[in-house]
Structure 1
Amino acid sequence: MTSVIGLLKRLYNIAYPTEVRKSGPSPSNQSTPKPLKFGILGAARIGPAGLIIPARSHPEVVVHAVAARDLARAQAYAAKHGIAKAYGGYQALLDDPEVDVVYNALPNALHYEWTMKALEAGKHVLNEKPTADTAEETRAMFDFAEKKGLVLLDAYHYRFHPALKRAKAIIDSGELGKLKHITVNMMVYQGYFKDDDIRYDFELGGGTLMDMGCYAINCLRYMTSAEPTEVIATSHVVFEPKNAPPDYVRNIDRRMEATFALPDDRTASIVIDAGLPPMLGFIPRFPNTGFVVECERGRLEMLNHVIPTLYHYISVKNDGLGARVEKVYKGAGKGEEWWLTYRHQLEALVDKLRGREPETWLTKEDSVQTMEWIEKVYAKSGLGSRPQSAYFLASRA
């Protein structure tokens, strides 16, 4: 009963966070900085969870503007979410001198172009994962951010939650001995993504490895504190739309499995699936997201590492000391039990922008390596990397 009450409280606070007074100069303290004004590229479904709701409880953040290709859509989105400005074009938002930070929530294939344009316009960028379609683009984006003296962060939001940090701390402590193998699962029920979803559009950087799989590869690298040395094997199932035309090109993965070699004779595997069949033919399956770490003296399993605020557990089985279950909704540092992973991420980003030391941060190399291994899995599978952007930024030449 206690866990149910806790869940309900978290859900309520997530949906209705306390609106905080935004920081800024006051008659008694003129030195207080103005809030950071964010602009969203794309009237996307991820916007509310990814930024709009977390911003409501952050005293230093205001969601100031949104841009869409269609002005009417941007205006409707702005009205729904209480955003001051709406633009019918992405460049118009970048030209707004009041925007300090851009949240790039566009499809994968547009991340490179519009992040580069945002950086060129002097804006810091929170970029939706995966970084871009290729590792080459990823490195170029971070190199350009460094050149401009700006902050670029990929939105691997799950990395900022204290539950994941606790799971890693258990592994790193040596309690279970040497890590032998990790399996990361990211699976959702059939129909979770509709046939016309951008995740199934090759030209837009689609594929489940690009979408859910980037979390899995990032997670196995984080939990093992190591880079794979080789993609040993892959298997995949391609996405088959209903009534596919005869000339339909089957280059989008609906399911992807991959096994990796790690240093010191360790291994890792990922299982990504956007089409779990329904139970009894009609009951949608609950998403299967989590990981299992096999060690010399036991195993650790974490359920729901991607959205742990809703519910999660860390199951530890120590061959010598028995079993236990841990749940971590609030860490020793900043945060509340109801903070979404996105809220923890926003806290870290603002700390970075204000010159404070974030509790957690993702480096350029972290983002680049994740994209490199995505491309290596696609190469091994025969599906190939997603199309590289044709955009060229003259100022980089």
Structure 2
Amino acid sequence: MIGFAALIDLIRRYRTLHNPPATEPESSFGPFPIRFGILGASRIAPDALIIPAKSHPDVVVSAIAARDELKALAFKRKHNIESLYCGRNPYERLLDNPDVDAVYISLPNGLHFEWAMRALEMGKHVLLEKPSTDTAENTKRLFEFAEQRNLVLMEAFHYRFHPAIQRVKEIIESGEIGAIKSIDAKMSIPASIFLKPDDIRFKYELGGGSIMDLGCYAIHAMRYLTGSDPLEVTSATVDLVPGTTNVDRGATASLVFPGVIGSMDLHLYRPWKWGIIPSLPQFPLKVTGEKGEVELTFFLLPHMLHSITVSVQDEKAPKGVKVRTEQAFKPKDENMKGEDWWSTYRYQLEAFVDKLKGRTPQTWITPEDSIANMEAIEMVYKKNGLGPRPKSEFMLPPHFPRGSDAVLNTL
């Protein structure tokens, strides 16, 4: 249960996140803002970019493109976006706008590869929703093309930029809980609360499945905290979307890392208790070591609410275990950027802009990291028998217009 003080603090941070204090451009940023366009009027776009941009002194969300005209109009009006593209070829027309410097792609998974390739071809930097593509092969090709074009491309694993998961990593590396023996990630969303039965996440041709949507985070967190990649998947089960033979709405898997067993239990459509009581979304992550354990609640969205509980063997403590609980809403180092009301997405945007401006981001998701994560996802799908999601066969046509070559540090 959340305490009264914690509830008041949550409300304060939530209100400040959506109504941030006024900011002025810093001289080090240069005179021009980075102008973002958004491909896809998705539900995640406001949290992932539009709201974080409000408090960033050097970001402007200037364009939105969507095939659904009503959704696009609603986005434009609600978020005061300058340019709207809908109707015929909306994504192409946005990418053809020379005033757009970077794009955030929040389209269905199965469209990530094509539209990221098209954006890069037109000289746009890309912040790409996870998972990067539907296959490791497509992801590798995508990052190779970004390198050829001298453009920034990053997969949006937003949780990794928040101080909470970084604090867990720090505790592990301190040796306080001893050598890691296991990692357990549970991620569930109650049925019909956030997703409907016809949601795109349940469509195979669009790269749907719980492992793609939730499992990519669980696997990524395991790889981050162990500092290694899985050697094999020893077991895997699925709960299929009714009427399909290849789309998982729920899944479990055990992965073997060097010296560590990782387990994940996922569900995009968790049944209600007794058929009448929905549970809250749950995202706990527990790491067990030789001397104790550390658990991070709500690891996916720690800016909303979280706790880091460390339990360590101690003969002098009651029941032989010493327990403490802490939180990490902002960096302990005062020289690092961040406020306690910043969301995971706001920290992520800070890093992305730092990269575009030639500064060193506090955290970064490398191409190698993204490729390895897709390889691990494919290992799980191979083990459970469903097989990887369909590979995109998109190829840039020879006549496709090329944008001017981008040069970093000039925005």
Q: What corresponds to 1:127 in structure 2?
A: 128
Deviation by residue 1:152-202 (Cα, 9 ceiling, x = unmatched):
011100000001100010011111111001011111112231011100011
Deviation by residue 1:90-141 (Cα, 9 ceiling, x = unmatched):
0000000000001001000000000000000000000000000000000111
Where structure 2 has 5 or more consecutive residues not aligned to the other structure, the ranges are 315-320, 399-411
Counterpart secondary structure, 1:384: coil
Deviation at 1:19, TM superposition (A): 4.2
Give the alignment partner of residue 77 of structure 1, picking from 52, 75, 78: 75
Deviation at 1:328, TM superposition (A): 0.7
Deviation at 1:33, TM superposition (A): 2.5
Matched, 1:364 2:340: no
Deviation at 1:237, TM superposition (A): 0.7
Q: What corresponds to 1:141 in structure 2?
A: 142
Deviation at 1:250, TM superposition (A): 2.0
Counterparts of 1:178 and 1:223, CA distance in 2: 12
Work out whether residues 22 and 62 of structure 1, in 8 Å CA contact, stay in contact via their aligned partners in 2.
no
Counterparts of 1:217 and 1:341, CA distance in 2: 18
Deviation by residue 1:51-70 (Cα, 9 ceiling, x = unmatched):
00000000000000000124
Matched, 1:37 2:51: no
Q: What corresponds to 1:339 in structure 2?
A: 342
Q: What corresponds to 1:355 in structure 2?
A: 358
Q: What corresponds to 2:237 in structure 1?
A: 235
Deviation at 1:286, TM superposition (A): 1.2
Give the alignment partner of residue 262 of structure 1, picking from 223, 243, 257: 257
Q: What corresponds to 1:54 in structure 2?
A: 52
384-393 vs 153-162, greater mean Cα deviation: 384-393
Counterparts of 1:280 and 1:262, CA distance in 2: 37
Q: What corresponds to 1:243 in structure 2?
A: none
Counterparts of 1:360 and 1:182, CA distance in 2: 22
Counterparts of 1:69 and 1:171, CA distance in 2: 46
Deviation at 1:276, TM superposition (A): 2.2
Deviation at 1:260, TM superposition (A): 0.9
Letter in 1 for 2:205: E
Alpha-carbon RMSD: 1.7
Residue pairs, 1:1-397, within 5 angstroms:
1-21=4-24, 32-88=30-86, 89-191=90-192, 192-240=194-242, 248-264=243-259, 266-320=260-314, 322-331=322-331, 332=333, 333-394=336-397
Counterparts of 2:106 and 2:25, CA distance in 1: 24
278-287 vs 156-165, greater mean Cα deviation: 278-287
Counterparts of 1:20 and 1:201, CA distance in 2: 42
Letter in 1 for 2:47: A
Deviation at 1:394, TM superposition (A): 4.6
Instruction: Detail structure 1 runs of 4+ shifted over 3 Å in the superposition.
Output: 21-24, 70-73
Deviation at 1:80, TM superposition (A): 1.5
Deviation by residue 1:30-82 (Cα, 9 ceiling, x = unmatched):
x9330000000011111100000000000000000000124454233211211
Counterparts of 2:71 and 2:174, CA distance in 1: 50
Normalising by structure 2, we get a TM-score of 0.90
375-384 vs 273-282, greater mean Cα deviation: 273-282
Counterpart secondary structure, 2:94: helix
Counterparts of 1:71 and 1:309, CA distance in 2: 32
Where structure 1 has 5 or more consecutive residues not aligned to the other structure, the ranges are 241-247
Normalising by structure 1, we get a TM-score of 0.93
Counterparts of 2:110 and 2:22, CA distance in 1: 35
Counterpart secondary structure, 2:283: strand
Q: How many residues end up aligned between the 2 structures?
A: 383
Letter in 2 for 1:313: S
Deviation by residue 1:194-238 (Cα, 9 ceiling, x = unmatched):
011100011111001100111011011001111110011101110
Deviation at 1:8, TM superposition (A): 1.3
Identity of aligned residues (%): 47
